[in-house]
Structure 1
Amino acid sequence: MLADGIVKAIGVSFLAMVAIALTGCRHQEPVVQAGETITIRLSGWQSNPNEKQLLDQVIRDFEAKNPTIKVKYEVINSEYMDVIKTRLIGDVAPDVFYLDAFEAPLLMKYDVLEPLDRYITPDFDLADFEPSLLKAFQSKGKLFGLPKDFSTLALFYNKKAFATAGITQPPKTWNEFLTDAKKLTIDRNKDGKIDQYGFGVAPELARQTIMIQAFGGSLINSQGYATFAEPESIKGLQLIVNQYRGDRSSAQPTDVGATWGSEMLGQGRAAMVIEGPWSIPYFKETFSKLDFATAEVPTVNGKPRTMAFTVAYVMNRKTKHKQAAWKLIAYLTGKEGMKTWAKQGLALPSRRSVLATTGYNKNPLYAPFAKGAGYATIWQAGENLPTIRMNFNNQFISALLGEQPLSNAMKKAQETANKEIYLSN
């Protein structure tokens, strides 16, 4: 569900060119004659065929209620944000589009989004949204996007593997998790070739931020520079490296020929993974015989921690049909539209009332994700996060493979990231 990748060159070009473009005159909304049909262009990505089918249904419902507005929906699955940025530069961007919280700070800073505050009325019930999700799309006192849904992370585990290992309940603390992972790691032929790992680890910043924060570390400072190489951050990350290299009770997906953690669990190559709710329909469709369950991510250093990923609908500031664009956003993120959209089960509705009516917060598989919303860290850390993430991921994997000590790898990643950030300012 989350959009991935920013090409640095395009990012720099975007900043320079959009700043020039925005010095020009603002677009005036054309006068629409009574009965005239308006076409609104909507762009997003698709992570599952069901996602497009459900969105198409919501759009048809909207068009039925608004017969003078037609919606042209375009799916962009390859280099989504690069395409959006390029179109913003060329003044051909869609009227409404998806925006990941990860990417939001850059676009909010450069004023390419229409503030939504003046369109929102009391009956829209803005207070119904999870506050932390709204905050991800706020800047300088203005709201630039309405979150369509969100996902947190939870522990998925193979119930049969747990029973075989004599484990009666999922681990609640990281120490219990490490102990269980050892019990779940199986070398059937005793030849050093592990058949089942206790844990399938995702060695990327979007998953390891909770380990950075566990002992008081931070990802960035107030100036937007990376700080993940500090001793407090290393302490949490070292737990991941020690498990992988010392205990040998965890593996990366690439170690076993898988593409992601849930595939490892489905194939029986890992007994536990930390993933989002998008894995639930994936398991049901791809590994229908897998008997799995979910639990909250084990506490690290005594505190509950998870990540939250959210995507909003935003309005192009230069759209010529702002009122129509707002009507679309309001319906898509309103209670009726969101309830229809939430049927997919790939993510959770961002409105509390819809979350309650759908029953996800009481469903044993989804409840750990819903509960995590109250303490999750939003996957967002300013406009420099793409640069920080790229450098972290490259060096952390190197440390995980034993090519260099973790402290050296993180120092190198931090210094390189901060140099790039300094040069781009």
Structure 2
Amino acid sequence: MNKKKWLSATVISSFLIGSILTGCSSGEESGSESSNGKTVVEMSGWGASPEEQELLEETLASFEEEHPDIDVEFQTISDQYMDVMKTRLIGGEAADVFYLDASEAPGLMSKGVLEPLDEYVTDDFDVDDFEQPLVDAFKQDGRTYGFPKDFSTLALFYNKKAFKEAGLSGPPKTMEELREYAKKLTVDEDGDGKPEQYGLGLAKELARQFYKLDAYGAKLVDKDGNAAFASNEAIEALQPVVDQYRKDKTSALPSDVGAGWGGEMFGQGEAAMVIEGNWAVPFLENNFADLEFGTAEVPMIKGEQATAAFPVAYVMNKESKKKDAAWELISYLTGKEGMKIWTSKGFALPTRKSVAEELGYADDEIRGALVEGASYAQPWQAGENLPTISNNFDNQFTSALLGEQPLEKALKKAEDTANQEISAGN
């Protein structure tokens, strides 16, 4: 086990200190007990909006009220979260409990730094209540290393006014329909080839494209964790994206219209449709209050429902000296009561089916499509080499979109370069 490969010496020296926010406890920063004799459980996570921070504090306060012998000290790591966490794990300074994104989970699970949680689980925890793909994202070799606290899938956001003006009564059901709808929704009134409104806002990153591969029989990585996305099947899956952008000219990147991301592009009326996650909902509601929009499940691909999922879990540090108390915290936060508080405002979606139903998200006009996708979603992860694979894909796929090289050549170059870098790092 060579933990030092995780990050460079520069990262180790630069990010040893994360900013700290003391949550709902008055306990000391370290040690097994606070001044009042309670067990102190340290928990680390990334920063959040003031509204989300308030919800977290409310959830932790509820936990402490039900567990009067435990104090929780929450530490916010504001920048370079995973670099800081890896450094602290290497140095034996990591918190007892911390957030872990699904994309980073394979790497930590394989390093032996996370505590398997299966032996802590009791019948009343109700593991079957979780959406299966979301909890599976934190399993390896038959062991469960985390339980998901929240998630988002991707869904189709569409402008109701634009649809009405184009004579479209509802969202497209298939990717083929999506492409045809985009043609009808693209508005170029002055005929200069630069539409005032594009049919679709396009996200070029692998994280927004990978879920399309499976329906074509394509793979992102092989069994050894190497890049494997340059197959004929992958080209077939992704060529329509390139063709729509280059030939149809009915889709556009946010940068094409001066927007920072798809949600902004959609809110500004530059695109009549985008495929985005739950994070777009509060953004649109807060910044574009007059926008009438709806959501639908991502259009089917070759007759199959498909979408991406981005779950985050609570995990336990293998070296924690307070594992029983740490599990009490994890089980509460990912249990029905704690999850209900945390997800009550809709900033994050509950990973438990019962909580989604109780809070009304399963039938919600906007969030219902995002919740529905959880049962069949593909979590955003692909082994330990995902950062290398993703970076090379993004660079070359962008080149193909810009017409600098054919898609086939772009994917082959990305795959070869990624695998060279993976081989050099082993």
Structure 1 stretch 212-221 or stretch 293-302: which is displaced more? 212-221
**Aligned-pair distance for 1:67?**
2.4
Alignment of 1:246-257 (within 5 A): 246-257=247-258
> Which residue does the alignment assign to 2:390?
389
> Which residue does the alignment assign to 1:150?
151
> Which residue does the alignment assign to 2:185?
184
- In 2, Cα distance between equivalents of 1:344 and 1:399: 40
- In 2, Cα distance between equivalents of 1:52 and 1:288: 23
> Is the counterpart of residue 304 in structure 1 residue 305 in structure 2?
yes
Q: Deviations over 1:20-76 (max 9, x none)?
A: xxxxxxxxxx98799612222211123533221111110111112222322221222
> Is the counterpart of residue 420 in structure 1 residue 415 in structure 2?
no
Q: Deviations over 1:137-174 (max 9, x none)?
A: 11122211011012111100000011111111111111
> Which residue does the alignment assign to 2:116?
115
- In 2, Cα distance between equivalents of 1:374 and 1:171: 20
**Aligned-pair distance for 1:344?**
2.8
Task: Verify the 8 A CA contact 2:32 2:322 in the aligned structure 1.
Answer: no
Task: Verify the 8 A CA contact 1:94 1:316 in the aligned structure 2.
Answer: yes
Task: Verify the 8 A CA contact 1:279 1:346 in the aligned structure 2.
Answer: no
> Which residue does the alignment assign to 1:128?
129
- In 1, Cα distance between equivalents of 2:280 and 2:407: 30
> Which residue does the alignment assign to 1:138?
139
4+ runs deviating over 6 angstroms: 30-35
Alignment of 1:267-346 (within 5 A): 267-346=268-347
SS of the residue corresponding to residue 348 of structure 1 reads: coil
- In 2, Cα distance between equivalents of 1:368 and 1:267: 22
Task: Verify the 8 A CA contact 1:35 1:68 in the aligned structure 2.
Answer: no
- In 1, Cα distance between equivalents of 2:323 and 2:290: 49
In structure 2, the CA distance between the partners of 1:316 and 1:233, relative to structure 1 (3 Å rule), is same
**Aligned-pair distance for 1:295?**
0.6
**Aligned-pair distance for 1:373?**
1.5
- In 2, Cα distance between equivalents of 1:110 and 1:10: 11
- In 1, Cα distance between equivalents of 2:151 and 2:34: 38
Task: Verify the 8 A CA contact 1:113 1:316 in the aligned structure 2.
Answer: yes
- In 1, Cα distance between equivalents of 2:58 and 2:328: 16
Task: Verify the 8 A CA contact 1:157 1:294 in the aligned structure 2.
Answer: yes
**Aligned-pair distance for 1:9?**
8.9
TM-score (norm 1): 0.91
**Aligned-pair distance for 1:346?**
2.7
- In 1, Cα distance between equivalents of 2:295 and 2:96: 39
Task: Verify the 8 A CA contact 1:278 1:345 in the aligned structure 2.
Answer: no
> Which residue does the alignment assign to 1:374?
375
Q: Deviations over 1:257-301 (max 9, x none)?
A: 111101001001110000111211111111111100001111122
> Which residue does the alignment assign to 2:69?
68
Q: Deviations over 1:405-424 (max 9, x none)?
A: 11111100000111112222
**Aligned-pair distance for 1:345?**
1.2
Task: Verify the 8 A CA contact 1:212 1:233 in the aligned structure 2.
Answer: yes
> Which residue does the alignment assign to 1:5?
none
SS of the residue corresponding to residue 389 of structure 2 reads: helix
**Aligned pair partner of 1:11 in 1, 6, 13:** 6
SS of the residue corresponding to residue 300 of structure 1 reads: coil
**Aligned-pair distance for 1:310?**
0.5
> Which residue does the alignment assign to 1:266?
267
Task: Verify the 8 A CA contact 2:198 2:271 in the aligned structure 1.
Answer: yes
Task: Supply the AA of the counterpart residue of 1:316.
Answer: N
> Is the counterpart of residue 362 in structure 1 residue 377 in structure 2?
no
**Aligned-pair distance for 1:197?**
0.7
> Which residue does the alignment assign to 2:353?
352
**Aligned-pair distance for 1:193?**
2.5
- In 2, Cα distance between equivalents of 1:122 and 1:189: 65
SS of the residue corresponding to residue 305 of structure 2 reads: coil
In structure 2, the CA distance between the partners of 1:311 and 1:178, relative to structure 1 (3 Å rule), is same
> Is the counterpart of residue 218 in structure 1 residue 219 in structure 2?
yes
SS of the residue corresponding to residue 152 of structure 2 reads: strand
In structure 2, the CA distance between the partners of 1:110 and 1:300, relative to structure 1 (3 Å rule), is same
Structure 1 stretch 361-370 or stretch 223-232: which is displaced more? 361-370
TM-score (norm 2): 0.91
- In 1, Cα distance between equivalents of 2:216 and 2:48: 34
Task: Supply the AA of the counterpart residue of 1:60.
Answer: A
In structure 2, the CA distance between the partners of 1:91 and 1:168, relative to structure 1 (3 Å rule), is same
- In 1, Cα distance between equivalents of 2:271 and 2:386: 30
Gaps of 5+ in 1: 1-7, 18-29
Alignment of 1:16-55 (within 5 A): 36-55=37-56
Gaps of 5+ in 2: 13-30
In structure 2, the CA distance between the partners of 1:9 and 1:189, relative to structure 1 (3 Å rule), is farther
Alignment of 1:94-113 (within 5 A): 94-113=95-114
In structure 2, the CA distance between the partners of 1:191 and 1:9, relative to structure 1 (3 Å rule), is farther
Structure 1 stretch 46-55 or stretch 95-104: which is displaced more? 46-55
Q: Give the percent of matched residue pairs that are identical in Structure 1 and Structure 2.
A: 54
> Is the counterpart of residue 89 in structure 1 residue 84 in structure 2?
no
Structure 1 stretch 43-52 or stretch 191-200: which is displaced more? 43-52
In structure 2, the CA distance between the partners of 1:164 and 1:327, relative to structure 1 (3 Å rule), is same
- In 2, Cα distance between equivalents of 1:9 and 1:109: 14
Task: Supply the AA of the counterpart residue of 1:235.
Answer: E
Structure 1 stretch 44-53 or stretch 246-255: which is displaced more? 44-53
Structure 1 stretch 405-414 or stretch 180-189: which is displaced more? 180-189
- In 2, Cα distance between equivalents of 1:101 and 1:31: 29
- In 1, Cα distance between equivalents of 2:48 and 2:297: 24
**Aligned-pair distance for 1:12?**
5.1
- In 2, Cα distance between equivalents of 1:381 and 1:159: 36
Task: Verify the 8 A CA contact 1:12 1:424 in the aligned structure 2.
Answer: no
- In 1, Cα distance between equivalents of 2:199 and 2:396: 24
